[in-house]
Each structure stands twice: as structure tokens, then as C-alpha cells.
């Protein structure tokens, strides 16, 4: 006897399984930001976004532990009630200064940030233009806003200009939203050109720099590489190079005040736990103090792309395009047999037919292991 919900789930899973699109959780013990224990094997991970290995940095861990001792494990309520512990405003001040903005707002996660920010500023009479490869939570926030949402071809400025020309006049307000560093491709958005188009068409620009902060632009993120660009909403996370959890957006003071008053994913959710805020602050200290660490992930990624004659890496993320989902799974399994964790990324995370190995390089990856990975990838994909 199965009820109809259970039967529904069973059929859905069987359908996904038959297309190599079913996903499963695999318990993974991360020892140090590099090595993991998974499925009974010890593997060198090229699949963690912990680009600076700060998840296990002694000073970052110590800051989190101290915060637990001083402030407890939870914020206790929404920030708008009693959850606005002092570490949050300290962190917001640091982020605003680092990014060169008047103010910042910390959110519980990147997903919460994007799904709260966009509906706060955009509504039914408005237009949102989104790069087709932008992160899922930019799409989620855009859809929640009720605005007209139009995709533009990835990093294609002619297409963005055409879509602005076609749709802008019918909308009250307009927003262009893009990743700064694309999470599954590792390339940079041309923020100078996007910003110019935004200004030409009276549109606001929001950049999600989850994979840029701490890695590109001397650690200040993708926008720092485009000095003339005007980014109205500079969003990013503590979950990638900062090694922890949580997110932020920087903007002008009135915009931040509006978000703190109205963003549903801030108002109706518990504040970020104190330990996460303390860890982010300590991680920002490490980033400021150790430019060599900040430069390392990109250097490792470039060592790898040079070894395989791939286009030169522009971030810590390097995709190895495979195509079919089952072939990507097989390639990942072959690398795992050689001691490397390189997770296959399949649709719908990436477009159909572009399943890939997504390699993430971190500061601590030994050069010899990067070279060994390059040789392993070459043999697996027959390059």
C-alpha cells in the first residue's frame, strides 16, 4: 500500500534516475579544506568552494568559538526583534568599507539574500534582465518579484542591448542582474560594458559576486577589476572564499535601510548566528593580511589550464566540459579512482548537454597535485 504522494515521489525519482539526473547526498568529512573522507575513501577535493581554505583556518575557527562562548549559538530572533547582535553591524561596516559603499546588509545565506533583495526593489510594473547562466537564486528572487523577467545570452552585450531596447520602455524600473564570476563556468561578467548599458537605459545593476570575493580583484571581487563600473547592489557570500556561511549586499544607505525594513528573507527569518558573523570577520582579516593566499587559487587554476591548453582561467573555477550527464558521472568516477574528488555537475544546474566536471582550485592545493590532476583529467577525457 503506497499513498499517492509516495507513488508520485517514486515515479519522479525513477524518471530522474533513468536520465542520470538523480542526485544523492554523500556524507563527506572535510578534514582541512583540502582532503576529504567520502565513501570510505580519502580524496583530494577539487570540488569545495573553500578557495582560501579558511573553513579550517585556526584564527577563523577560534573567532567562531569565541563568539559562541560570548554570544551563544543562535541569534534568538529575527534581526528586527532581538537578533541584531553587535557582530552583525561590525561585519556590515567592514564589508561596506572593503567594497567602497555607504552601507551593507548581512543575510542568512546567498540564496536568502537574492530571493529577498530583488522582490524588495522590483515589482509588477518592472523589468529584470538576467544573464542566462546566473545563479538559481537570482532567478528565484526575480520570479518572486512579479516583474517581467527576460534572460539575455551569457555575457552577450549585443543581446543585452537588444533586449533593453525591446523591453525597457514598457517598464517602470529596470534591473540587470548577473554573477560577477559565474559559478559553473568560472568566467567574469564584462561589468564595465554591462554598467554602461545599464546607465544608457536607466537600469540598476546587481552583481552576485559569491565566487569573486577573496579570489579576484585583489580579493575585493570582480567589480574591482572594472574600475569605472557602477554596481548599485554588490552582493556576495561568506560561504565560498570566506569558508563559512552567510551573505551580504552593499549599496547606498537608503537602499540598505529599505532592505532592512522590507526584505522578507531578512525580516521573517532568524539572524545569522554569531559564530558565522565572527568567522566572516576573521576571514576578512586573513584576506587583508595575506595577499599571497588571495592570489594563490587563480595561480593554481592557471597552472592547470596551461597544463591542459585550456583557455586561461579567470577565477578559481575551471569547467571541464563533458556533455552528457552519464559521461560526466563516469569521468568523475574515473578521477575518484585516482584519488581526486571532482564532482560532476549536471542539468538543471547547468544547461542540457553541458554536463561537466567543475574544478575549484584553492590556495592550499600543492602544485604537484595540480599537475597530477591535469594528467589524470587528460587521460580521462582523452585530451
Ligand X SMILES: *Cc1c(COP(=O)(O)O)cnc(C)c1O
Q: In sequence order, which residues have a C-beta less than 8 Å from that of residue 295 and are 6 or more positions away?
A: none
CB of 111 to ligand X, least distance (A): 4
Q: Which residue is nearest to ligand X (CB)?
A: 110
- Only segment of 4-12, 79-87, 105-113, 352-360 that touches ligand X (CB under 6 A): 105-113
Long-range interactions of 287-296: CB distance < 8 A, separation 24+: 287/52, 287/214, 287/219, 287/241, 287/242, 288/219, 291/218, 291/219, 293/52, 293/363, 294/52, 294/214, 294/215, 294/218, 294/219, 294/363, 296/52, 296/362, 296/363, 296/364
- Supply the minimum distance, in Å, between the C-beta of residue 334 and ligand X: 26
φ/ψ of residue 52, rounded to 5:
-110, 10
For ligand X, the closer of residues 50 and 126 by Cβ is: 50
Contact status: 210 vs ligand X (CB under 6 A): yes
CB of 237: closest distance to ligand X in angstroms?
4
User: Does residue number 315 form part of the binding site for ligand X (CB under 6 A)?
Assistant: no
208 lies in the binding site for ligand X (CB under 6 A): yes
Q: How far is the CB of 303 from ligand X (least distance, A)?
A: 23
Indicate the residue among 60 and 380 with the shorter CB distance to ligand X: 60
Does residue 131 belong to the site contacting ligand X (CB under 6 A)? Answer: no
Interaction mask 167-206, ligand X, x per CB under 6 A: ------------x---x-----------------------
Count CB neighbours of 26 within 10 A: 10
Most distant CA pair in the chain, distance: 64
**Does the footprint of ligand X cover residue 110 (CB under 6 A)?**
yes
C-alpha cell at 51: 578557495
Paired residues of 78 in beta bridges: 270
Instruction: Measure the CA–CA gap between 332 and 337, rounded to whole angstroms.
Output: 9
Subset of residues 233 to 252 that bind ligand X, contact rule: CB under 6 A:
237, 239, 247
Give yes or no for residue 109 binding ligand X (CB under 6 A). Answer: yes
Nearest residue (CB) to ligand X, 101 versus 182: 182
Nearest approach, Cβ of 247 to ligand X (angstroms)? Answer: 5
Instruction: Answer whether 96's CB lies under 8 Å from 142's CB.
Output: no
Listed in sequence order, the DSSP H helices in 290-340 are: 291-307, 325-337
How long, in residues, is the chain? 383
Q: Which residues are catalytic?
A: 183, 211, 240
92 is a contact residue toward ligand X (CB under 6 A): no
Q: Taking CB under 6 A as the rule, does residue 111 contact ligand X?
A: yes
* Window 277 to 296, contacts with ligand X (CB under 6 A): none
The answer to whether residue 297 forms part of the interface with ligand X (CB under 6 A) is: no
Residues between 134 and 163 with contacts to ligand X, criterion CB under 6 A:
135, 137
b (16+ CB within 10 A) / e for 290-320: eeebbebbbbbbbbbbeeeebeebbbbbbbb
20 within 8 A of 325, measured Cβ to Cβ:
yes
Find the shortest distance in angstroms from Cβ 377 to ligand X: 22
> Residues in the site for ligand X, rule: CB under 6 A?
109-111, 135, 137, 179, 183, 208, 210-211, 237, 239, 247
Amino acid at each position: 500500500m503506497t499513498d499517492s504522494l509516495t507513488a508520485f515521489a517514486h515515479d519522479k525519482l525513477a524518471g530522474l534516475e533513468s536520465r542520470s539526473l538523480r542526485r544523492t547526498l554523500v556524507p563527506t568529512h572535510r578534514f582541512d579544506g583540502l582532503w576529504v573522507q567520502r565513501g570510505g575513501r580519502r580524496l583530494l577535493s577539487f570540488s569545495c568552494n573553500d578557495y582560501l581554505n579558511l573553513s579550517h583556518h585556526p584564527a577563523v575557527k577560534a573567532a567562531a568559538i569565541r563568539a559562541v562562548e560570548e554570544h551563544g549559538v543562535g541569534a534568538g530572533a529575527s534581526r528586527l526583534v532581538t537578533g541584531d547582535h553587535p557582530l552583525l553591524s561590525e561585519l556590515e561596516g567592514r564589508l561596506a568599507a572593503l567594497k567602497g559603499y555607504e552601507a551593507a546588509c548581512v543575510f542568512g545565506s546567498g540564496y536568502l539574500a537574492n530571493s529577498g533583495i530583488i522582490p524588495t526593489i522590483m515589482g509588477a510594473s518592472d523589468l529584470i534582465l538576467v544573464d542566462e547562466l546566473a545563479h538559481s537564486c537570482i532567478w528565484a528572487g526575480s520570479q518572486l518579484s512579479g516583474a517581467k523577467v527576460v534572460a539575455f545570452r551569457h555575457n552577450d552585450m549585443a543581446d543585452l542591448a537588444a533586449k533593453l531596447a525591446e523591453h525597457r520602455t514598457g517598464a517602470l524600473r529596470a534591473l540587470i542582474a548577473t554573477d560577477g564570476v559565474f559559478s559553473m563556468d568560472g568566467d567574469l561578467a564584462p561589468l564595465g560594458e554591462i554598467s554602461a548599458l545599464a546607465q544608457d537605459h536607466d537600469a540598476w545593476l546587481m552583481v552576485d559576486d559569491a565566487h569573486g570575493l577573496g579570489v579576484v580583484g585583489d580579493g575585493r571581487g570582480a567589480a574591482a577589476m572594472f574600475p569605472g563600473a557602477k554596481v548599485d547592489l554588490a552582493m556576495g557570500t561568506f560561504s565560498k572564499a570566506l569558508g563559512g556561511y552567510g551573505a551580504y549586499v552593499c549599496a547606498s544607505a537608503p537602499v540598505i535601510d529599505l532592505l532592512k525594513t522590507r526584505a522578507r528573507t531578512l525580516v521573517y527569518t532568524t539572524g545569522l548566528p554569531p559564530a558565522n558573523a565572527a568567522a566572516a570577520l576573521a576571514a576578512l582579516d586573513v584576506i587583508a593580511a595575506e595577499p599571497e593566499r588571495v592570489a594563490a587559487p587563480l595561480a593554481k587554476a592557471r597552472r592547470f589550464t596551461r597544463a591542459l591548453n585550456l583557455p586561461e582561467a579567470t577565477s578559481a573555477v575551471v569547467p571541464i566540459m563533458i556533455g552528457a550527464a552519464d559521461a560526466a558521472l563516469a569521468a568523475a568516477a574515473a578521477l575518484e579512482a585516482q584519488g581526486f574528488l571532482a564532482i560532476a555537475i549536471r542539468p538543471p544546474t547547468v544547461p542540457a548537454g553541458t554536463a561537466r566536471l567543475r574544478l575549484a582550485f584553492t590556495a592550499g592545493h600543492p602544485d604537484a597535485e595540480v599537475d597530477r590532476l591535469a594528467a589524470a583529467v587528460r587521460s580521462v577525457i582523452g585530451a
